[in-house]
Structure 1
Amino acid sequence: MTSTLRVLPFVAAMAIIVAVSNVLVQYPFEHLGLGEILTWGAFTYPVAFLVNDLTNRRFGTGAARRVVLAGFVIAVALSVWLATPRIAIASGSAFLVAQLLDTAVFDRLRGQAWWQAPFVSTLVGSALDTVLFFGLAFSSAFAGIDALFGMEDGSLAFAVPFLGGQAPLWVSLALGDFAVKILIGLAMLAPYGALLSVLRPAPAVR
């Protein structure tokens, strides 16, 4: 059984990344005219997949799931304090489902080329995370969540120009967010590859 102390650094890193991302996702990236399709959170959140994959590589799926669950609890608690309840609910739900999917996909591809498991798992997890998070956090369909906590509607459902037509702002933000997650996911292959010799699989991990 993996010692709790051995995975604490991964838990702490996961909680910090998600909490920071929950705040930054509320702020559009106003540079290069990308304010309507991108938020600052898109640049930080993909690092969570790197933490998950490194935990999975070193300690296996059981430890990775424990890190995800611990990070989920801590991140939601911090998010309730740092962001709105609706953001916290959306972030927690998307985080939990997407990270568990990432864990399963990574394990399935563990024996393939070194880059396949982290990249494919991040790609699939990021897609699901984006759909769940932006759908829950900003779609008008879930505006009632804010009302339950006596808060104003945080919906970003109003239309903006997008690809020659009109789209809800949250949809354009989600697409921009996903594109950046993939780019950051590709960039995260560099530190993952650099740490392969340091974080070798434990004896019990195949």
Structure 2
Amino acid sequence: MTVSERLRRLRSRKGSSDVTGATAEQSRAEHAARAAVRGIQAGIVATLIMTAFRLPILRSLPPSANFWSTYVSGNDPEDHPVIGLILHLVYGIQGGVIFGALFALFDADRSIEPEQRGLVWGSVFGMGLSAFGSQIMLKELLDIRLESDELALFHAAHLVYGISLGAWVGSRTEGVEDPEEEYEYDDGN
């Protein structure tokens, strides 16, 4: 959509009333619910993609098995492959929900389409998670120090997660994500 089309739509909406009768609170609640559903879906898809990317390269389970071993069972992490993968999926879904909410609520730069914004912000989000994971989760909580090649692949896997997350959320987000805006499409007739 061009700038002139956006301006024309904004001008045509001035003074228009809510034709559905829904209150602003209902509209925001629906908007938040849609963002949460997109985030859950994106978290599942992106985590599966990231896991498929990292497993053959690193030939090891995600460090969530180490978390379970350290704080729950006390056994060897290799004794918990299923729990490790389930925890990894749960973490990925949580990240998806957070990203979906942030994308819906705080994505102010609307000069590019949501698909491109999703890729940009997803990449940033994935690398932020990677930094948090390597510095806080691995080093501080689990006392794991990755070799330089493992660390590079850890970051690459989280970049893949972020790109996948952003692609999913961005491709399923309306062109303008304001719950109080109405869309009037001009088909040229």
TM-score by length of 2: 0.43
Radius of gyration: which is bigger? Answer: 2
If asked which structure has higher relative contact order (CA below 8 Å, sep 6+), I would say 2
